Amino acid sequence: MGRPKLLLPIGDTTVIELVLRAMRAGGINDVVMVVAPSMEDLARKAMDAGASVVRLSEDTPNMRATCLHGLAWIEERFHPRDDDGWLLLPADHPTVQPDVVRAILAAISENTDKTIIVPSHKGRRGHPTWLRWSHVAAIRAMPADQGLNAYIRTQSAERLELPWPDDDILFDLDTPEDYRQFECENLR
């Protein structure tokens, strides 16, 4: 992208501000964002938008390692029980809508036997994903080269795939073309 994608402008806001705004509007009170050590501007923008920021001391090799830092921070401060939960959303998903967050939160209370809830569109799993805290120990014990998607795939008995009508749950910003497409759609 040539610059940090989470700080890319979308109208009068930024990608990260859109994501954080959607989470809050969807009913999430405590948002934790894990930030690379060189991303001071991003950390400041996230804090200004109301997120708690976990600053890494060094870059991590993958998203799972980054998440583990965030989970350790949450554990230290909130002392979650096994039946508590957490919502995972990669910050480069600017199309996340408050409605999907609310639907996931509602599904938690309606499906107490499921410990993972993930929205899906036409058979493809998207974001955000809710996991009961009881999964954290197993995630920590996974081989370092396996990601969270691999873990979630293995948990079919524990997982509820929540059908979602829009493909916005699948979109993320990975390329300049993704950004141009998203920017054009949102500035109309």
Query: What would the pLDDT profile of 7-19 be if each residue is shown by its tens digit?
Result: 988 888 899 999 9
pTM for the model stands at 0.91
d(CA 146, CA 183): 33
Domains of the chain by start residue, with CATH = 8-181 (3.90.550.10)
Which residues of the chain register pLDDT less than 70? 1-2, 184, 186-188
pLDDT of residue 128: 97
Dihedral sign computed on CA atoms, order 69, 71, 72, 78: positive
pLDDT of residue 86: 97
pLDDT of residue 174: 80
pLDDT of residue 95: 87
